[in-house]
Amino acid sequence: MQEVEVSSVKVYYEGFLAVNGISFALPKGSYLSIIGPSGCGKTSLLKAIGGLLPYEGYISRPEGPLGYMPQKGVLLPWYSLLKNLEIPLLIRGVSEVEARKRVLDVLPQFGLKGFENYFPNALSGGMYQRAALLRTLLTNSELLLLDEPFGAVDALNRRKLWLYLEDMRQKFNFSTIMVTHDVEEAVFLSDIIVIMHKYPGELKEIVEINLPHPRTLQTISTDEFSSKVEHVLEKIIGENI
């Protein structure tokens, strides 16, 4: 069963063609990454899939709320970190006591314990992004749309979060579309990688990553992993990411 189908999608900004006829399908429970040079239309495509931008062509997506993590600014500046993380649960009818418990339970895994009462503008870039990712995961959505979710996260925490996401996926079987610039990250997390061209926002190639799940730290040191990374890098070399 396909969770998302994207067919001949085009996105225009006042006549400027940013996404030019992209098509792909995402089976339920799969992880798809969109990779390509800066300005090739990745964010525009993600927004179109989320219904946040008008587009030409056809997109099918699950009904109900999506978990969308934009590149910047998902936390409400006038609420504490704790409150920000509780909101998606409260909106879905979880009691205040239960919401607080669930958030406090998961904070250490995101390196955010002790920062409950901080306001978003007092968090470091990496902490902010980890909080934004956690907030998106707490929406418990069937489909997550993540726009460079680890861009500001340091290398060590990045790997921790890859493992966390992989583990969550095994448990909850959500589907994900992620925009990234990081080939290793795309290979580690994805079942499908969509490579885009510079201008004007065209599809270059779709690569399947059929490494077994669950993926672990050992996965990164296997020959299969390295050869997938090399394969994807070869496809995008010359594209000036």
**142 or 184: whose CB is closer to ligand ATP?**
184
Q: Is 44 in the site for ligand ATP (CB under 6 A)?
A: yes
CB of 128 to ligand ATP, least distance (A): 17
Q: Is 6 in the site for ligand ATP (CB under 6 A)?
A: no
**9 or 40: whose CB is closer to ligand ATP?**
40
**25 or 53: whose CB is closer to ligand ATP?**
53
Using the rule CB under 6 A, which residue among 39, 51, 108, 125 binds ligand ATP?
Answer: 39
**97 or 237: whose CB is closer to ligand ATP?**
237
Q: Is 158 in the site for ligand ATP (CB under 6 A)?
A: no
**39 or 108: whose CB is closer to ligand ATP?**
39
Residue 125 phi, psi dihedral angles, 5° rounding: -55, -45
Number of residues that bind ligand ATP (CB under 6 A): 10
The 3-state DSSP class for residue 8 equals strand
In the chain, what is the straight-line distance between the N-terminal and C-terminal CA atoms, in Å? 33
**What is the residue type of 83?**
K
Using the rule CB under 6 A, which residue among 6, 41, 89, 144 binds ligand ATP?
Answer: 41
Which structure tokens are listed for 226?
């390295």
* Distance, CA of 49 to CA of 165 (rounded, Å): 21
How many C-beta atoms surround the C-beta of residue 149 within 10 A? Answer: 27
CB of 216 to ligand ATP, least distance (A): 29
* H or E element that contains 68: strand 67-69
User: Judged by CB under 6 A, which stretch of 33-41, 91-99, 183-191, 224-232 contacts ligand ATP?
Assistant: 33-41
Half-sphere CA count of 167, side-chain side, radius 13 A: 9
Measured CA distances, 222 to 44, 100, 198, 226, 238 (Å): 34, 40, 31, 7, 26
Quick check: 183 and 236 in contact, CB under 8 A? yes
Q: Is 13 in the site for ligand ATP (CB under 6 A)?
A: yes
Q: Is the peptide bond before 37 cis (omega within 30 degrees of 0)?
A: no
CB of 44 to ligand ATP, least distance (A): 3
State the residue for tokens 């979880």: 94
Instruction: Enumerate the β-bridge partners of residue 56.
Output: 10
Using the rule CB under 6 A, which residue among 10, 42, 130, 228 binds ligand ATP?
Answer: 42
Q: Is 43 in the site for ligand ATP (CB under 6 A)?
A: yes
User: Judged by CB under 6 A, which stretch of 1-9, 42-50, 96-104, 229-237 contacts ligand ATP?
Assistant: 42-50
Residues that bind ligand ATP (CB under 6 A): 13, 16, 18, 38-44
